[in-house]
Structure 1
């Protein structure tokens, strides 16, 4: 028993120590733009895209370094357990012709220390690589921008989802409050014998359903907050509240008239990314063609040789040697490999041009679709607003008629159900309008 108690105390102490090392949850309150700004600096996909830009910069420096002098140090050591034997003609030593005398040349221990250097003097592939380094860096820079745009759109949509869910909670609270009042009134009237018990039950069923709907919506709201924190790269355990509500979010009905024309594809980062890829394909074709040209390189070396039959005296004397020279490499025949590589690169370049044309048409179509979808969503939102107001008015009149004895409880229940349906359609239309506005801005290159 004492052992168990001791183990529990140790475990409790360990857990307490672990909890103390964990950072305390932070609390944040963001507008839409602040949420986007937080995501740009914390979302893993954006951070990694920024690291890719840095990596591309180092890759360019690596390519540039190929044109600098290349210097290597070398060192070698050999212990000849058996010195190689060479056969020399016997007549050199007065022996009969056709005989050979075994002779050993060399010493047991040999060592070499040297420095080799080379300098690229002319290489067309290297020159073309230098010409394309700016385009190469531009490719990753645009990939970084594309990632930021994608994250901005997703964060904005997630933010709007929370805003709309909050609005839905408000509508449910208002409906629950007025329905609770109606339940209390009907219950009191039933006790007085004015209305039947079935009227109380009908309203109670609606009230219970509405309360359950609110509880479900609250759980979904908590999940939407978690999704928003995930989209901006915030730890799930941190607390987040929103500064912006529907009053701060403008749904501009005139935005269609101010967006760009059908040439909006030029503002899209996707199109610019394809353009950069096409430029790189052109440089690649030039690089492969340059492989038909000769290359020239300067070489130099300085070596210290050490030889001795005694290991301890191996480095007592050196025999230096050095040279300088040029190496010219002239491509003559490669079995058609270079020619076929050129043809493959030309095909890849043509495919890139075709893809660019397809991208332009696709982006223009996307822009037109986004305009139509946004217009339709605005029309649906306005229609649902009117329906919501009408449903609320129908419910008001139905309740008055019921109280005056010229209406039925079924009529009130149906009007309440119609109002709840109108509220749900309004919430859905509101979210659709907000999301389609984000898609519209993205389709016309307004998100950067």
Structure 2
């Protein structure tokens, strides 16, 4: 069962104002909950399930009694003439013609009645009812698939925002280090203990770092727009994750995924349902060879009069009724049903081939995703060690420079190496999370972490 989405609560309980921009702080779980209620594709898939429910009702209604009423009032400005032979014993010798014109009818006629038709047997109806229910199952599966796609997109977009936030933090921290080093070097230069080229070298490094900060800020804005679009969050809000990449990347969970066997993918269930639908269409076409039987009933009262004010007189109205059974027997349709049956059988073979290929593709996808995750975990370990070493080298280089036994070139090089190590470690964290999402998708367990 899905956890209820936090809609306005998220918007108005976690936001604060910064330069007239409402910032919404979200955990990944809250972002996913919001997505399942507000993503446009998910909402359309939910509406499609409602359409399928109505389709089931529509199909069921065709097998229930169909009752229709009718009323009509007719006026004959000129009553039709019927010609009779002017012959004995009914002939009229006063009429010179060999025919006698006779008018049968009155000027006004009215009918009031009701008709009932109830299906007794129609093989197509029962097959159609099963098909409608199976179609409902298919739309439910389509909804799950759409939710999975939305979850995958939001997770990756959420991680993208986290990465850019971390890049900004690292770039700003590096800029602060460079600014401090630049100030110290400028002071040494003014005191005659450092050359002008030392100041220029650090100034170049400072300019490059400043550019990194600005690029990271631009990337953050773009990634936030993507996240809001995928979530269905209005663009006037500013979204901020309140988690870190490290918090979302527990090694134990990643290692557990590597031995997880997963479940049957929703795509396989969709294909199975489509095969079932084609099979039902095949049965429907076969049922067309059988007769259809309906019960019919009719009750009617008719009235007439030569003037409008007499047509509704009680004594001018008479009743009639009818009960019967109607049977329609198909005889020959030019082999139309046979062609449809042949087409259904070929379609089933196509879908079975697709299913076999899909299962093999999923096995390959799981293998590739696990291999990628294992490789990313190895790289993550290496990059963590490199980061620790780069920090140690930078600290040593800075101490040596401050004590006058090292050059600022060593500090600049060590700082550049530290920045590179920080970004490499950040990229390794991000790659690990993306690989985790890809593996969850391959295993068919993408929604498990947000379902009770």
Q: Decide: shared fold, TM above 0.5.
A: yes
1:78 aligned partner: 74
Q: Describe the superposition over 1:394-425 as per-residue Cα deviations: whole angstroms up to 9, x where unpaired.
A: 43444445455555444433333333333333
Q: Following TM superposition, by how much is the alpha carbon of 1:80 offset from its aligned partner in structure 2, in angstroms?
A: 2.4
2:304 aligned partner: 307
Q: 2:33 aligns with which of 17, 30, 37?
A: 37
CA distance in 2, matches of 1:187, 1:277: 74
If the length of structure 2 is used for normalisation, what is the TM-score?
A: 0.86
Q: Does 1:62 align with 2:54?
A: no
1:100 aligned partner: 99
Secondary structure at the counterpart of residue 246 of structure 1: coil
Give structure 1 stretches of 5+ with no counterpart.
Answer: 1-23
Q: Following TM superposition, by how much is the alpha carbon of 1:119 offset from its aligned partner in structure 2, in angstroms?
A: 0.3
How many aligned positions are there?
Answer: 421
4+ residue runs over 6 A deviation: 95-98
Please say if residues 402 and 409 of structure 1, whose CA atoms lie closer than 8 Å, have aligned partners that are also in contact: yes
CA distance in 2, matches of 1:84, 1:378: 96
Please say if residues 89 and 97 of structure 1, whose CA atoms lie closer than 8 Å, have aligned partners that are also in contact: no
If the length of structure 1 is used for normalisation, what is the TM-score?
A: 0.87
Task: Compute the RMSD of aligned alpha carbons.
Answer: 2.4
1:46 aligned partner: 42
Change (3 A) 1:25 1:421: closer
1:238 aligned partner: 237
Please say if residues 39 and 232 of structure 1, whose CA atoms lie closer than 8 Å, have aligned partners that are also in contact: yes
Q: Following TM superposition, by how much is the alpha carbon of 1:97 offset from its aligned partner in structure 2, in angstroms?
A: 11
2:260 aligned partner: 259
- Give matches, 1:321-400, under 5 Å: 321-400=320-399
Change (3 A) 1:48 1:338: same
- Give matches, 1:406-421, under 5 Å: 407-421=406-420
CA distance in 2, matches of 1:59, 1:350: 27
Higher helix content, 1 or 2: 1
Please say if residues 172 and 214 of structure 1, whose CA atoms lie closer than 8 Å, have aligned partners that are also in contact: yes
Q: Describe the superposition over 1:52-100 as per-residue Cα deviations: whole angstroms up to 9, x where unpaired.
A: 1122112111111111110011122322233222222232524699933
Q: Does 1:441 align with 2:437?
A: no
Q: Describe the superposition over 1:267-320 as per-residue Cα deviations: whole angstroms up to 9, x where unpaired.
A: 211111111111111111111101111110000111222322322332223232
Q: Following TM superposition, by how much is the alpha carbon of 1:213 offset from its aligned partner in structure 2, in angstroms?
A: 1.7
Change (3 A) 1:368 1:97: farther
Q: Does 1:280 align with 2:310?
A: no
Q: Describe the superposition over 1:347-377 as per-residue Cα deviations: whole angstroms up to 9, x where unpaired.
A: 1111121111111111111111111121222
Give structure 2 stretches of 5+ with no counterpart.
Answer: 1-19, 448-452
Q: Following TM superposition, by how much is the alpha carbon of 1:188 offset from its aligned partner in structure 2, in angstroms?
A: 0.3
Secondary structure at the counterpart of residue 315 of structure 1: coil
Q: Following TM superposition, by how much is the alpha carbon of 1:258 offset from its aligned partner in structure 2, in angstroms?
A: 2.4
